[in-house]
Structure 1
Amino acid sequence: MKEQVTIKWHHKLSIIPDYVSYILYFLIPVFLTLISLLLANFLAKDSLEKTHKIIKKDNGEEQTVKTSKVIEVEQANNAFLPSYLGYFFVALSVPYFETLIFVFLVLFIFTFFSQTLYFNPLFLLFGYHFYYLTTINRTKVFLITRKILKDPNDIDLPNLKRINNFTFIDIRR
């Protein structure tokens, strides 16, 4: 049996309209996402900054140029939306709160231990974008950043935070 749960748990709160509960239910994950972004400042530092490369010209002169460590950029903003929509519809169909918590914990454990991506769709509300970057070593990494990345040659990311070996977040604008 599905129940409608609102914040009218106390008789003094009974005058509050139901939509206030729904707004609060939405703001809780947004607030937790904001806290996770603040905690990201304490992650280990890393970078994908350009390196200096010396090029010899035909006339014998040497020229120093900066080259990017990234050779390919692929946008990943929409890659996981179907999965999260699937979770949403599963949550709507679960009849009991205990079952919902159990399903959520199982999904959380599998997602956490897979350690592949940390895609939080609420990051989109804070202006973040998601990218797959392929480095010069042919390693594919996942990047969360506010920057718009298009050309691999222009990518210079000196202030990344490492979430795991293949996932990074760029806190700065």
Structure 2
Amino acid sequence: MKYLYQLFLAFNSTWLIVVVYLIKEKYILNILENYSIYYSWTIFVFIPIILTALSFLIALKLPRDILRSNSVNEIELANNNFLPTYLGYFFVSLGIDDVPTLIVVFAIIYLFTYLSQTLYFNPIFLFFGYHFYFIKTASNVKIFLITRKKLKVPGEDGFENLKRINNYTFIDL
């Protein structure tokens, strides 16, 4: 289940490239040909939102873990660290001229996102109220934490119901 979830998270993290391309190319879904183009675009945007919401349900099946408050030595907000990456993705998708190129570029970025298996940053998590943090533990291990909590002081918050995505990435549901 963990590997399927990692594949799913990598997909959700990179799918916005396709959404931007479809909107740029003014694609219209066949079932909406007689309607305004904005209906198709709305569906394109809502697909990754729905898939991200689904990822929270799937995460409930991941292995459980705990991070005690006294084991947190350092907290660093990571929300803004990924903005340059996503801006790069958007600019790349705006420069793609055809579907075969889109498929190759998406496959390469997806593969690198999956194989890195260190971070699964999905900007849509921000819409659901989640934040991204780098946490350094008492054993000097740096982990990536996805949580709704607003962390400020190391050791102030503990996490009794973490779900382990991989050895360095956790989500607090």
TM-score by length of 1: 0.83
2:95 maps to 93
Q: Secondary structure at the match of 1:149?
A: coil
Q: Mapping of 1:1-173 within 5 angstroms? A: 3-7=25-29, 9=30, 13-50=32-69, 68-171=70-173
Percent identity of paired positions between Structure 1 and Structure 2: 51
Q: Any unmatched runs of 5+ in structure 1? A: 51-67
The alpha-carbon deviation at position 88 of structure 1 amounts to: 1.0
- The structure in which a higher percent of residues are strand is 1
Q: How many residues get paired? A: 150
Q: CA deviation at 1:3?
A: 4.0
Q: Which amino acid aligns with 2:33?
A: S
1:134 is paired with a residue whose SS is strand
Q: TM-score, normalised by structure 2?
A: 0.83
| Letter paired with 1:45 | R
Provide structure 2 residue ranges, at least 5 long, that are not aligned to the other structure.
Answer: 1-23
Moved over 3 A (4+): none
When residues 158 and 3 of structure 1 are mapped into structure 2, their CA distance, relative to the original with a 3 A threshold, is closer
1:101 match: secondary structure: helix
Compare relative contact order (CA 8 Å, sep 6+) and give the higher one, 1 or 2: 2
RMSD: 1.2
